């Protein structure tokens, strides 16, 4: 039995910051000091505070280290593990708002204080590649309970009573979806886990699969039991190789212990799971396109009705649930629907995992009870906008969502509140924007993504989004007119109204949201030919403030188009706007702040 555990984050983010090498280094340092039998190094899933990764946690001391490099391994082992002296410079700390002193106690760190980790319960705690650790954390107990003490209908009722709603973006009541499928005549049915997570900036599902793959497998088996299915698919995007590997290991270990396969827990219930990889199409996150892809066809959505619960993959009744939805199912079965329903708001029970990104101090993964306000998430947990910049908006729901502004920050997050405010929960992506973001450019960015990802099946999305992108590009490049604005809004409504699937139906949301909330920025681009946030290159002018110019010529030497003229030491340098390509190299080069951008 070891006396100390060293947990190192092995999620994709920290791995790309060399956390795997951190693990190797710590191991080798331990061997040097002959500590390898007393101290165990464990690779875990995501701790959530990705901004500060790679993260190393020492237990039982409950000391968290951040920004750990392989070179720090020696010091951590020698000083903390061997001599018992934590390495202060690496410790994750917070500042007490009143005393302004450093806080070292992990339980008092603001980032974690308001979180409640249900879906992420085991992430950062267990080794995801060891089924024994999952079992030690009450893993597979829920499946056992369901198979040996409950009927399928009782399982569905429990999920219904919990109030669990889909976490993939639709927010559809999970229990109701399972009931539809269960009501279909007995026969071949399927359970699908949608792990295609395509929203830019979203990594909730990835982290759950990397950090706690078994919870998904266990919950899929529970779902299969509930609806009468013996076969499951995890459809996971190929861009998540670590998650795929962890799933494959988990499947193998679960099968070895008879927790998947035939006659699980001697109940007579068979269930096994197959992994299917995506091939780089955002649209395959749409459930019917996902089904097409599993069937080996081109990933184009099918009209609904019929819904997958009635006719899904291979034409059979199928339930498709998001990774995070499944991550909540086992806990609900284990701890009871009442417990789950006691968390959150009246119509949105439980917690939600958010991927905080953009202009935010604490980029990372957070899980909060529904009803937590946006202000709490962005400021208390997220640490607000860095560099003293002013908050402008927060974009939720990825390319399908809309923006929320300062005025909305005290709203409690839940499905219906966000829709009422003109956005949506989406899968959990939360991108914070500050004064340096151009909202027209943000809308254009999302439309560009949509145009690239549209499957091309239906005319409104295939052609309409392209036309909207052309209009947004015209606006950003100074060619927009009043007619462009009115055409853009009109077309946005039409595309929303006539598209075949959710991708097209929500493609207009960022445009419509920013048009409504930031009309003045659009107007500035169109009528003044100016970008207030100084982002849209075509609308910028770079100039040199004569009084500040030291005639050093640094700017001219760095200009790629020779647009700056002057005489070294003698004459003030001047930028020729006709040749200037607005790259900003002169502004970066000038040491005297003489280059202005407007």
Given the rule CB under 8 A, which residues bind other proteins?
Answer: 281, 283, 298, 300, 302-303, 305-306, 451-460, 462-467, 470, 491, 494, 496-500, 505
Instruction: Return the structure tokens found at 542.
Output: 């770079």
Please identify, using beta-carbon distances, which residue of 505 and 543 lies nearer to other proteins: 505
Please identify, using beta-carbon distances, which residue of 421 and 554 lies nearer to other proteins: 421
Please identify, using beta-carbon distances, which residue of 192 and 283 lies nearer to other proteins: 283
- Residue 254 CB, nearest approach to other proteins (Å): 36
Q: Which of 460, 449, 468, 448 is nearest to 512 (CA)?
A: 468
Length of the chain: 598
Q: Which of 172, 196, 156, 114 is nearest to 415 (CA)?
A: 172
- Residue 188 CB, nearest approach to other proteins (Å): 21
Beta strands in 304-456, from DSSP E residues, in sequence order: 318-322, 351-358, 364-369, 391-396, 402-405, 429-434
Please count the CA atoms within 13 angstroms of the CA of 162 that sit on its side-chain side. 28
The span from the CA of 83 to the CA of 526, in Å, is 66
- Residue 308 CB, nearest approach to other proteins (Å): 15
Please identify, using beta-carbon distances, which residue of 122 and 465 lies nearer to other proteins: 465
- Residue 452 CB, nearest approach to other proteins (Å): 6
Please identify, using beta-carbon distances, which residue of 38 and 483 lies nearer to other proteins: 483
Please identify, using beta-carbon distances, which residue of 84 and 303 lies nearer to other proteins: 303
Please identify, using beta-carbon distances, which residue of 467 and 551 lies nearer to other proteins: 467
- Going by C-beta distance under 8 Å and a sequence separation of 6 or more, which residues neighbour residue 388? none
- Going by C-beta distance under 8 Å and a sequence separation of 6 or more, which residues neighbour residue 206? 11, 12, 197, 240, 243
The span from the CA of 22 to the CA of 9, in Å, is 10
Please identify, using beta-carbon distances, which residue of 275 and 463 lies nearer to other proteins: 463
SS3 breakdown of the chain: % helix, strand, coil, rounded to 5? Answer: 45, 20, 40
- Residue 451 CB, nearest approach to other proteins (Å): 6
- Residue 280 CB, nearest approach to other proteins (Å): 10
Distances (CA, A) of 484 to 222, 472, 475, 537, 596: 52, 8, 8, 19, 30
Strand partners, 367: 353
Say how far residue 359 (Cα) sits from the centre of its chain. 15
Please provide residue 64's backbone torsions phi and psi, each rounded to the nearest 5 degrees. -110, 125
- Going by C-beta distance under 8 Å and a sequence separation of 6 or more, which residues neighbour residue 403? 393, 394, 395, 423, 433, 439, 442, 510, 513, 514, 517, 518
- Residue 470 CB, nearest approach to other proteins (Å): 5
Please identify, using beta-carbon distances, which residue of 493 and 597 lies nearer to other proteins: 493
Collapsing DSSP to helix, strand or coil, 40 comes out as: strand
């Amino acid at each position: 039995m070891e006396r100390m555990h060293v947990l190192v984050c092995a999620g994709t983010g920290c791995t790309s910051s060399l956390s795997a090498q951190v693990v190797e280094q710590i191991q080798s340092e331990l061997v040097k000091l002959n500590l390898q039998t007393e101290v165990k190094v464990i690779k875990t899933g995501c701790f959530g505070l990705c901004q500060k990764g790679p993260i190393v946690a020492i237990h039982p001391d409950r000391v968290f280290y951040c920004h750990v490099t392989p070179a720090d391994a020696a010091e951590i082992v020698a000083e903390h593990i061997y001599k018992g002296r934590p390495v202060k410079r690496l410790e994750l700390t917070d500042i007490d708002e009143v005393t302004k002193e450093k806080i070292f106690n992990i339980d008092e760190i603001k980032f974690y204080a308001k979180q409640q980790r249900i879906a992420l319960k085991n992430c950062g705690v267990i080794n995801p590649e060891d089924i024994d650790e999952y079992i030690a954390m009450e893993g597979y107990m829920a499946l056992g309970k369901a198979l040996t003490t409950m009927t399928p209908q009782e399982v569905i009722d429990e999920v219904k009573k919990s109030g669990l709603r889909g976490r993939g973006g639709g927010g559809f009541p999970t229990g109701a979806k399972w009931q539809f499928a269960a009501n279909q005549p007995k026969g071949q049915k399927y359970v699908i886990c949608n792990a295609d997570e395509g929203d830019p900036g979203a990594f909730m599902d990835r982290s759950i699969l990397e950090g706690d793959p078994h919870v998904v497998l266990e919950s899929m088996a529970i779902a299969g039991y509930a609806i009468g299915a013996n076969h499951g698919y995890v459809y996971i995007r190929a861009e998540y190789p670590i998650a795929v590997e962890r799933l494959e290991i988990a499947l193998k270990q679960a099968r070895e212990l008879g927790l998947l396969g035939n006659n699980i827990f001697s109940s007579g219930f068979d269930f096994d799971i197959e992994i299917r990889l995506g091939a780089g199409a955002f649209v395959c996150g749409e459930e019917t396109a996902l089904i097409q892809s599993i069937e080996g066809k081109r990933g184009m959505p099918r009209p609904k009705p019929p819904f997958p619960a009635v006719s899904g993959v291979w034409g059979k009744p199928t339930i498709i649930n998001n990774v995070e939805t499944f991550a909540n199912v086992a806990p609900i079965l284990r701890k009871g629907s009442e417990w789950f329903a006691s968390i959150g708001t009246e119509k949105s029970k439980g917690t939600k995992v958010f991927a905080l990104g953009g202009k935010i101090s604490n980029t990372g993964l957070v899980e909060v009870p529904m009803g937590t306000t946006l202000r709490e998430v962005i400021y208390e947990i997220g640490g607000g906008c860095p560099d003293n910049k002013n908050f402008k908006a927060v974009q939720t729901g990825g390319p399908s969502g809309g923006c929320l502004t300062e005025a909305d920050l005290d709203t409690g997050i839940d499905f219906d509140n966000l829709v009422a405010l003109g956005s949506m929960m989406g899968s959990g992506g939360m991108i914070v924007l500050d004064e340096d973001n151009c909202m027209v450019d943000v809308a254009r960015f999302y439309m560009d993504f949509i145009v690239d990802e549209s499957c091309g099946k239906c005319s409104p999305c295939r052609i309409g989004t392209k036309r909207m992108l052309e209009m947004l590009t015209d606006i950003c490049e100074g060619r927009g007119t009043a007619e462009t604005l009115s055409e853009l809004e009109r077309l946005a409504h039409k595309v929303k109204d006539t598209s075949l699937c959710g991708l097209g139906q929500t493609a207009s949301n960022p445009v419509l949201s920013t048009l409504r909330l930031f009309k003045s920025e659009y107007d500035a681009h169109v009528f003044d030919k100016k970008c207030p946030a100084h982002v849209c290159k075509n609308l910028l002018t770079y100039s040199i403030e004569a009084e500040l110019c030291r005639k050093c010529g640094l700017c001219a030497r760095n200009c790629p188009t020779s647009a700056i003229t002057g005489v070294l030491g003698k004459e003030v340098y001047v930028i020729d706007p006709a040749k200037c390509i607005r790259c900003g190299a002169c502004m970066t080069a000038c040491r005297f702040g003489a280059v202005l951008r407007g």
